[in-house]
Amino acid sequence: MLWFYCLHYNRLHRKQHHKPRDQNHYPELLFCICHQPADFSEVQAEDRRICQEVHSIPNLAPIQVVIVPIYKGNSELDKISNTAEKIKETLTKKGISVKYDNRDTQKPGWKFAEYELKGVPVRIAIGPRDIANGTVEIARRDSLTKEVIKQENIDEHIADLLVDIQTSIFNRARSFRDKNTCKVDTYKDFKRILKEKGGFLLAHWDGTSETEQKISKETKATIRCIPLDGKKEKGKCIYTGKPSNQRVVFAKAY
């Protein structure tokens, strides 16, 4: 089953510590594996470790690559800008969305933190030494790793990198979903697991809204989705005991 949803992330809980001066609205795209747009379930919880595992998805990110110059004085900036604009043009022709941030109101470190917060998948840093050596520094948002590469064929490198990031995030999220999904066959186990562990619960349901409403009233859990590619299996509704042909996904809304 491939359950998949993207959520708009409200940054209010972070803005006291990270508040860009320009206040440009740039929603961070968080995602976990699920079937359709829905609320964040309790499986995400208030766990910063989990939050650090969710990033902008390259295929959906408004800005896929940001280029940040590192310089002292206008003479260095002019040389770096010349290279940066060429790289931006090359990547844009490849269909990659790029921003060159040459603002002189913020230091490079501030910009690094800003774009990490916004979730831009790839950051390119260019300094005087890179100009002399024909290199750039590449940083990945998903793994926070860095590498120095030659400027030649940078468009191919970045394109492959974005695909790798997309795959890596997807696989990590799917693994997280699988670890936090369990099957339940009785209402007693349903309530116990929901209270002790939470997460996604695969359970049989008789198909009536009345039963879902009763379960929701008693446990606060609702049906998050009916998997389109879910396995067909005969069973009994965990609440009423009536026949059921497929399990559905229950979870508490976050």
The domain spanning residue 225 has which CATH number? 3.30.110.30
Residue 159 lies in a domain: no
pLDDT at 25: 36
* Number of domains comprising the chain: 2
- To the nearest 10 degrees (0 to 180), the angle between helices 74-93 and 154-179 is 70
The pLDDT value recorded for residue 212 is 96
Contact 9, 98 (CB under 8 A): no
CA distances in angstroms from 107 to 72, 151, 196, listed in the order given: 11, 24, 46
Q: Is residue 26 part of a domain?
A: no
Residue 235: exposure state from Cβ atoms within 10 A (0-12, 13-18, ≥19)? middle
Say yes or no: 126 and 205 in one domain: no
State residue 22's pLDDT score: 38
**Counts of helices then strands in the chain (DSSP H, E):** 7, 12
Residue 21 reports pLDDT greater than 60: no
Q: How far apart, in whole angstroms, are the C-alpha atoms of residue 187 and residue 31?
A: 29
Confirm whether 103 is domain-assigned: yes
Which residue, of 137, 152, 167, is where some domain finishes? 152
Residues 147 and 186 in one domain: no
Q: Which domain holds residue 82?
A: 61-152
> Range with the lowest mean pLDDT among 12-16, 19-23, 233-237?
12-16
Calpha distance 101→20 (Å, rounded): 14
Residue 55's pLDDT is what?
A: 52
**Same domain, yes or no, for 140 and 211?**
no
Q: Which residue has the tokens 């349903």?
A: 190
Residues 145, 65, single domain; the answer is yes
Which pLDDT value is given to residue 253? 84
> Can you point out the beta strands (E) in 38-178?
65-69, 98-100, 122-126, 135-140, 146-150
> CA 72 to CA 76: how far, in whole Å?
6
pLDDT, mean of residues 198-220:
96
Residue 55 maps to a domain: no
Hey, what's the torsion of the CAs at 124, 125, 127, 132, to 10 degrees?
Answer: -30
Phi, psi (rounded to 5 degrees) for 156: -65, -40
135-141-144 Cα angle (round to 5): 80
Residue 26: band (very low, low, confident or very high) from pLDDT cuts 50, 70, 90? very low
Indicate whether 209 belongs to any domain.
yes
Quick check: 141 and 113 in contact, CB under 8 A?
no
Residue 134 forms part of a structural domain? yes
Around Cβ 135, how many Cβ atoms within 10 Å? 18
Same domain assignment for residues 221 and 141 = no
Which position has the token pair 């186990």? Answer: 189
Contact 173, 5 (CB under 8 A): no
Q: What is the pTM of this model?
A: 0.72
What is the residue-averaged pLDDT of the chain?
83
pLDDT of 134 over the 80 cut: yes
**Is 139 in the same domain as 186?**
no
pLDDT at 139: 97
Question: Each residue of 164-180: pLDDT tens digit?
Answer: 999 999 999 899 999 99
Q: Is the pLDDT of residue 155 over 70?
A: yes
Bridge partners (DSSP) listed for residue 243: 236
